[in-house]
């Protein structure tokens, strides 16, 4: 842990479900918040009018990101692989290039991202991922390989990054800060479910947790069976 001070954060992809939860957590901590979202989604942030600054624009637009991250101590990035034109990697590159050198950068993705190849996936998970990768690329909806490329850009960077790898998600009230492990396949993660509000909590808490710098934690809800069994065994 550290006593790193955060005053101003940029949330890239602020208008989605994860983004809005992150806005709430950030405002609760007294942070000044700048949100980036697509122009057509600005209305989704009406509930925060007067509390945050909204910068409309695509998250892979370098000029938009340059303006949005100026003066921010932390940048929270919802990495999504929409479309087939390098949206996720363009977003990651823009943030890595324009955030200040001392800024904490926290990116979201899923368990399918592996940093060191030591994650262990079930056969079902691998089959579903392979099918989804092909099908959504065929219909030009999304390109999961681009999210992989985005994360590899982050992993290769010297910045103060954290890549938070989400399990399956569900809605519901907060259960508290998720548990995490370096590798999918570790018993603590077996329950494979996290409340979306707590995924956002982990992202925002990572800003002040220096133990997570240059880590890619895979998370799971702290009240799940596998997390509770792990805690009891310690
Ligand atoms: N869903 C899951 O089960 C799951 C599981 C594990 C990890 N994750 C990770 O969690 C993060 C958030 O996922 P989520 O499912 O919870 O989604 P989410 O928070 O609802 O966010 C979706 C984001 O994608 C943007 N978006 C939607 N359609 C788009 C398009 N056509 N072009 C560009 N941007 C578009 C949204 O912006 P607008 O508001 O402008 O539409 C929003 O910022 C991602 O990093 C994902 O990899 C998700």
User: What's the CA-to-centroid distance between 214 and ligand 1, angstroms?
Assistant: 23
Please indicate whether residue 16, judged by its CB atom, sits closer than 6 Å to ligand 1. Answer: yes
pLDDT of residue 230: 95
Question: Three-class SS of residue 201?
Answer: helix
CA distance 65 to 33: 14
**Both tokens assigned to 232:** 């009891």
User: What's the CA-to-centroid distance between 232 and ligand 1, angstroms?
Assistant: 34
pLDDT of residue 75: 98
The residue ranges of every structural domain in the chain are 8-233
Quickly count: other Cβ atoms within 10 Å of residue 41's Cβ. Answer: 16
Please indicate whether residue 74, judged by its CB atom, sits closer than 6 Å to ligand 1. Answer: no
User: What's the CA-to-centroid distance between 157 and ligand 1, angstroms?
Assistant: 23
Please indicate whether residue 81, judged by its CB atom, sits closer than 6 Å to ligand 1. Answer: no
pLDDT of residue 64: 98
Please indicate whether residue 79, judged by its CB atom, sits closer than 6 Å to ligand 1. Answer: yes
Please indicate whether residue 203, judged by its CB atom, sits closer than 6 Å to ligand 1. Answer: no
Please indicate whether residue 42, judged by its CB atom, sits closer than 6 Å to ligand 1. Answer: no
Residue whose pair of structure tokens reads 């960077």 in the numeric block: 157
**What pTM does this model have?**
0.97
Nearest C-alpha neighbor of 146 from the set 204, 75, 59: 59
Please indicate whether residue 41, judged by its CB atom, sits closer than 6 Å to ligand 1. Answer: yes
Instruction: Express each pLDDT in 49-65 by its tens digit.
Output: 999 999 999 999 999 99
For ligand 1, atom 37, name the residue with the nearest CA. Answer: 16
Residue whose pair of structure tokens reads 């938070």 in the numeric block: 164
- The CATH number of the structural domain formed by 8-233 is 3.40.50.720
Between 87-98 and 144-155, two packed helices, what is the crossing angle to 10 degrees? 20
Least confident interval from 6-10, 129-133, 197-201:
129-133
104-110 and 74-78 strand pairing: parallel
Contact 191, 223 (CB under 8 A): no
Mutation to probe ligand 1, out of 10, 11, 13 (largest number of atoms < 8 A from CB): 13
Please indicate whether residue 194, judged by its CB atom, sits closer than 6 Å to ligand 1. Answer: no
Please indicate whether residue 64, judged by its CB atom, sits closer than 6 Å to ligand 1. Answer: no
> Who's near 166: CB < 8 A, 6+ residues apart?
108, 109, 110, 111, 194, 199, 219
For ligand 1, atom 33, name the residue with the nearest CA. Answer: 82
CA distance 23 to 104: 16
Contact 80, 93 (CB under 8 A): no
Least confident interval from 42-46, 83-87, 210-214:
83-87
pLDDT of residue 140: 87
Mutation to probe ligand 1, out of 10, 11, 15, 16 (largest number of atoms < 8 A from CB): 16
Whether 1 has a pLDDT exceeding 70, the answer reads no
């Amino acid at each position: 842990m550290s006593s790193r001070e955060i005053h101003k954060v940029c949330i890239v992809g602020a208008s989605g479900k994860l983004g809005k939860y992150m806005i709430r957590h950030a405002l609760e901590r007294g942070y000044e918040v700048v949100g980036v979202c697509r122009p057509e989604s600005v209305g989704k942030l009406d509930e925060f009018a007067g509390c945050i600054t909204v910068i409309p624009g695509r998250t892979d637009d370098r000029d938009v990101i340059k303006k949005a991250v100026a003066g921010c101590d932390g940048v929270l990035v919802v990495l999504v692989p929409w479309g087939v034109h390098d949206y996720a990697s363009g977003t990651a590159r823009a943030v890595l290039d324009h955030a200040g050198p001392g800024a904490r950068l926290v990116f979201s993705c899923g368990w399918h991202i592996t940093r060191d190849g030591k994650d262990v996936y079930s056969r079902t998970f691998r089959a579903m991922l392979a099918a989804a990768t092909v099908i959504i690329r065929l219909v030009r909806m999304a390109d999961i390989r681009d999210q992989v490329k985005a994360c590899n850009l982050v992993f290769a960077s010297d910045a103060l990054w954290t890549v938070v790898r989400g399990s399956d998600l569900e809605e519901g009230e907060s259960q508290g800060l998720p548990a995490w492990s370096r590798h999918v396949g570790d018993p603590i993660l077996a329950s494979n479910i996290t409340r979306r509000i707590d995924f956002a909590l982990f992202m925002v808490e990572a800003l002040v947790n220096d133990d997570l710098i240059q880590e890619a934690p895979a998370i799971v809800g702290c009240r799940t069976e596998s997390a509770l069994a792990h805690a009891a065994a310690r």
